[in-house]
Amino acid sequence: MGESVGIVIAEYSIMHSQPNARPSATSSIHQRPVDDEWELECASLDVLTNTHRDNFDRVARTQPVLVDARGCWPRDANVLSLLSFDYGHLKLSDMGTLYGSLAHTERSLGLNPEVSARIRSRLEAWTLSDFLEAAKAGEAEFYLANLALKQFPRIANRYRSPDVGPRNVIPSERARAPELFVGSANTQYSNLHVDSIGGSVWCVCLEGEKEWVVFPPEDSKFLCAFRLGDLQLRHSLLDPWNKELCARFPLAQLHPYRVRLQAGQALFLPPNWWHITRNHGLTITINERLWSWSTLRYFIPWFFAELRARIPGIQQPYVLYSK
């Protein structure tokens, strides 16, 4: 094992022993330093143009799939105009995310105190119009994430889920309800992570371009996964746009793919794939989580780990879902 990997593991062990510690190099939903000089070398994904269900299911069993999603949104509807005309007056502080409130977003902000304070005050004072105007000018600095789509009925009514892929078998609205993400230039959501509870995710792009870098579950053992806020070891310090951080990982063992998701396309990410995103300009996507019968094998280990963790006297298990 190289020295650099050892450093990452040492950092990981420190965080492991301090459950509330945050990794200084990662936290997100803020504007990252512009560094377009370097990026991790990745394979690319082709768009699956024949999105016949059988074809899709065969490919999606082993890898993410990028499909034409023009059918998800009417050609003559402009999502940005709808958002600003119909909902521009809404205050950001009154908007609901699916996991708690925007305060959740606030807690995830980066550690630079000046930027943090500025974003916090904007979250308090701004309407959605203020945010969209600033985002158009490339000055919004943050990312509205996980907004419950149902609070924008005029958008929800026009949206159609992709018509391929697995059927959702989870009845809980909280787990599966579509979320709206409105990103401004050069912002990213979280660090490299795996979604919890073994679900897969659709990301349907309506506006702009969102870059995804994804790694297969088999790469987990080389990503020095650590725990952040829940039981699952599902976060990593690897940052595909940061040369120094990348140099600490055994890149030859990793299998990253890069997807530049454009308006009119959707990305399907199978369960337990690692992912990190970055917005190029003002970007609007709708993300939907899915649990199908075939994802049960991911859900069951999660369920039993959670159950065990609730038995008094038993040490919390740290769970790495690598398969």
Q: How far apart are the first and last CA of the chain?
A: 23
Q: Is 152 in the site for ligand AKG (CB under 6 A)?
A: no
Q: Which own/partner pairs from 75-84 qualify as long-range (CB within 8 Å, at least 24 positions apart)?
A: 77/158, 79/155, 79/206, 79/207, 79/284, 80/132, 80/207, 80/282, 80/284, 82/154, 82/155, 82/158, 83/128, 83/132, 83/152, 83/155, 83/182, 83/284, 84/128, 84/129, 84/132
Strand partners, 192: 236
Minimum distance from residue 1 beta carbon to ligand AKG (Å)? 29
Chosen from Fe ion, ligand AKG, none, partner binding at 108 (C-beta under 5 to 8 Å by type): none
Residues in contact with ligand AKG, counted by CB under 6 A, come to a total of 10
Chosen from Fe ion, ligand AKG, none, partner binding at 181 (C-beta under 5 to 8 Å by type): ligand AKG
Q: Which of 11, 141, 179, 195 binds Fe ion (CB under 5 A)?
A: 195
Q: Which of 11, 141, 195, 211 binds ligand AKG (CB under 6 A)?
A: 195
Q: Which is nearer to ligand AKG, 235 or 248 (CB)?
A: 235
Q: Which is nearer to Fe ion, 27 or 55 (CB)?
A: 27
Q: Is 11 in the site for Fe ion (CB under 5 A)?
A: no
Q: Is 26 in the site for ligand AKG (CB under 6 A)?
A: no
Residue whose C-alpha is closest to residue 104's, from 24, 52, 169, 29:
29
Is residue 262 within 8 A of residue 273, CB to CB? The reply is no
Q: Which is nearer to ligand AKG, 195 or 219 (CB)?
A: 195
Map residues 67-96 to x or -, x wherever contact with Fe ion holds by CB under 5 A: ------------------------------
Q: Which of 205, 275, 298, 302 binds ligand AKG (CB under 6 A)?
A: 275
Q: Is 203 in the site for ligand AKG (CB under 6 A)?
A: yes
Specify whether the backbone of 20 is left (phi greater than 0), alpha (psi in -120 to 50) or beta. Answer: alpha
Q: Which of 131, 152, 159, 181 binds ligand AKG (CB under 6 A)?
A: 181
Q: Can you tell me which residue has the tokens 């959740």?
A: 104
Residues at the interface with ligand AKG (CB under 6 A): 181, 189-190, 195, 201, 203, 275, 277, 285, 287
